[in-house]
Amino acid sequence: MDRKEAVPVRYEAVIGLEVHAQMLTDTKIFCGCSTTFGSDPNTQTCPVCIGMPGVLPVLNSRALEFAVRTGLATNCSISSYSRFARKNYFYPDLPKGYQISQFEHPICEHGFIDIDVDGQSKRIGITRIHMEEDAGKNIHDGAGSYSLVDLNRTGVPLMEIVSEPDLRGPKEASEYMKKLRAILRYLGVCDGNMEQGSLRCDANVSVRPAGQKEFGTRAEIKNINSFRFVEKAIEYEIKRQIRIVSGGGKVIQETRLWDSGTGITESMRSKEEAHDYRYFPEPDLVPIIPEDSWIEGIRSSLPELPDQKISRFVSEMGLPKYDASLIAEERQLADWFEEAVRAGGQPKSVSNWIMGDLMRFLNEDNRSVSECPVKPGQLADMLKLVDMGTISGKIAKTVFEEMYRTGKAPDTIVKEKGLVQISDSSEIEKAIDDILSKSPNEVERFRGGDEKLLGFFVGQVMKTMKGKANPQLLNDILKKKLAAVD
């Protein structure tokens, strides 16, 4: 029988991200006002950033340096000629009626960063990085009767980092964001805090039948303000677009808003309603023509970046890639790790403690690694006590926790708490004999073949010896005793 069935079309997502990163300068991009977050509204303003007539902007050289640092770290070329433009629109949080941004001549172009996709490295192109000023903040009264404007953020320097449409799914997009955030934090150019809005992202999303070369029509999703939501918003949007095109419809080009409360994206404005920004060159700022020597000076001051650290941890220290990636995510954590290794800790043991109890305690207390009460050298010292057999691996957990709570040195804790491992076989033997004589039934069952009971005996002996028995010795003696039929 000749049956024709429609083969279901498989769709592929295409994603490009526009990331806004607030630069960690002390002052704003075109005036000397402070950029400190959380001050009283409108206390960090001056005639320049509130757009008084006749004032003149002056570029903050630190902001320029930060943008160039970022460009170099993301393999961009630095433009030999770059300038600012006015992007015109009206909104109450934009006192000048235009935003000073870069349009035709961004400071950095044609870069890339590598991300990890299912264990494979994938290169994501960076179209451009440009500098611009942030807008203020409208604060709406809950009842809807009035709105207030806070201009403290007006003029805070931003970088906009635009990716090529090289990302193919929500996970790739979040991996890209994570990598970018790690690089920005390593460079010290942005704190990467998405909750406070110092790192924000708009996602451009389209779908196309798998195998098709042309891109589909894209929607731009705004308002993605947390790491978790990068994936969720894109995931939702891909499903929505696939539903439309597989039903024979057409995706319309528009800007959509992600609503984290409902978990959906909603139309904000269509292409027809899109702003015409009437970009034109900013006449009050001179073009930027950087000298090569200045750029090379910045290049030579770049720190070792996450990717370089990861491969060094793998090749020189023998760490698994997984461990290396986790530890290299934060520069301070990577430094902590290396200091512990320099102090004599075996790399994989140090990494195990970092990924285990150390991270757990820090997370529980909402502390960063720089606030960690345990010093790297102390962990190395503790690992030495384990290697020498002074304490068991099990006791080490107690010692580590005590180190974390009190900041005391491991040998002090071991002495004070009497935690030295007992490797005296006669003492262990006595404890074993005691338990075996108290548990005749279990002994009989064990000898009858129920070998799972070995754990029960170990546990009982450890309990009477307060966990201090040398586990290897305990196991050996116990097995011998149980094997011997009396």
Q: Choose which of 41, 51, 165, 197 interacts with ligand ADP (CB under 6 A).
A: 165
CA distance 333 to 327: 6
| Candidate residues 28, 178, 200, 218; the one interacting with ligand ADP per rule CB under 6 A | 218
215 binds ligand ADP (CB under 6 A): yes
Tell me whether residue 96 or residue 218 sits nearer to Zn ion (CB atom).
96
Q: Does 474 bind ligand ADP (CB under 6 A)?
A: no
Q: What angle do CA 350, 354, 359 make, to 5 degrees?
A: 170
Q: Which one of ligand ADP, Zn ion, none interacts with residue 49, CB within 5 to 8 A by kind?
A: Zn ion
Q: Of these partners, Zn ion, ligand ADP, none, which one is at the site of residue 482 (CB under 5 to 8 Å by kind)?
A: none
Asked if 345 touches ligand ADP (CB under 6 A), the answer is: no
Interatomic CA distance for residues 269 and 356, integer angstroms: 47
Size of the site for ligand ADP (CB under 6 A): 15
**Exactly one of 204, 241, 390, 460 binds ligand ADP (CB under 6 A); which one?**
204
Of 25, 74, 79, 163, the one binding ligand ADP (CB under 6 A) is 163
Closest CB to ligand ADP among residues 126, 379: 126
Closest by alpha carbon to 119, among 328, 311, 322? 322
Tokens 């009982």 correspond to what residue?
Answer: 460
108 binds ligand ADP per the rule CB under 6 A: no
14 binds, among ligand ADP, Zn ion, none (CB under 5 to 8 A by kind): ligand ADP
Residue 256 binding result from ligand ADP, Zn ion, none, given CB thresholds of 5 to 8 Å by partner type: none
* Minimum CB distance to Zn ion smaller for 42 or for 398: 42
CB of 253 to ligand ADP, least distance (A): 9
Tokens of 445: 């069952």
Check binding of 161 to ligand ADP (CB under 6 A): no
Which among Zn ion, ligand ADP, none contacts residue 18 (Cβ within 5 to 8 A by kind)?
ligand ADP
106 binds ligand ADP (CB under 6 A): no
Residue 155 CB, nearest distance to Zn ion (Å)?
A: 6
Which C-beta is closer to ligand ADP: that of 207 or that of 474? 207
Q: Is 187 an interacting residue with respect to ligand ADP (CB under 6 A)?
A: no
Contact status: 18 vs ligand ADP (CB under 6 A): yes
Contact 176, 197 (CB under 8 A): no
Q: How far is the CB of 339 from Zn ion (least distance, A)?
A: 41
**Is 15 a residue that touches ligand ADP (CB under 6 A)?**
yes
Q: Which of 12, 93, 116, 164 binds ligand ADP (CB under 6 A)?
A: 164
Say whether residue 206 binds ligand ADP (CB under 6 A).
Answer: yes
Q: Closest approach of Cβ 325 to ligand ADP, in Å?
A: 25
Contacted by 392, from ligand ADP, Zn ion, none: CB < 5 to 8 Å by type: none
Binding-site partner at residue 15 among ligand ADP, Zn ion, none, CB < 5 to 8 Å by type = ligand ADP
Give the nearest distance from C-beta 268 to ligand ADP in angstroms: 13
Residue 165 or 197: the one with the smaller Cβ distance to ligand ADP is: 165
Burial of 477 from C-beta contacts in 10 A (0-12 / 13-18 / 19+): buried
Nearest approach in angstroms of CB 17 to ligand ADP is 6
Q: Pick from ligand ADP, Zn ion, none: which does 215 bind, CB < 5 to 8 A by kind?
A: ligand ADP
Looking at the Cβ atoms of 95 and 306, the one nearer to Zn ion is 95
Distance separating alpha carbons of residues 56 and 31, to the nearest angstrom = 9
Q: Which residues bind Zn ion (CB under 5 A)?
A: 31, 33, 46, 48-49
CA distance 246 to 239: 10
- Asked if 344 contacts 384 with a C-beta cutoff of 8 angstroms, the reply is yes
Considering the rule CB under 6 A, would residue 427 count as an interface residue with ligand ADP? no
Annotate the chain with three-state secondary structure. Answer: CCCCCCCCCCEEEEEEEEEEEECCCCECCCCCCECCCCCCCCCCCCCCCCCCCCCCCCCCHHHHHHHHHHHHHCCCEECCCECCEEEECCCCCCCCCEEEECCCCCCEEEEEEEEEECCEEEEEEEEEEEEEECCCEEEECCCCCCEEEECCCCCCEEEEEEECCCECCHHHHHHHHHHHHHHHHHHCCCCCCCCCCCEEEEEEEEEEECCCCCCCCCEEEEEECCHHHHHHHHHHHHHHHHHHHHCCCCCCCEEEEEECCCCEEEEEEECCCCCCCCCEECCCCCCECCCHHHHHHHHHCCCCCHHHHHHHHHHHHCCCHHHHHHHHCCHHHHHHHHHHHHCCCCHHHHHHHHHHHHHHHHHHCCCCHHHCCCCHHHHHHHHHHHHCCCCCHHHHHHHHHHHHHHCCCHHHHHHHHCCCCECCHHHHHHHHHHHHHHCHHHHHHHHCCCCCHHHHHHHHHHHHCCCCECHHHHHHHHHHHHHCCC
Residue 14 touching ligand ADP (CB under 6 A): yes
Q: Does 95 bind ligand ADP (CB under 6 A)?
A: no
The distance of closest approach from Cβ of residue 47 to Zn ion in the complex, given in angstroms and rounded to an integer, is: 7
Pick what 204 binds: ligand ADP, Zn ion, none; C-beta below 5 to 8 Å, kind-dependent: ligand ADP
Contact positions vs ligand ADP (CB under 6 A): 14-18, 162-165, 204-206, 215, 218, 220
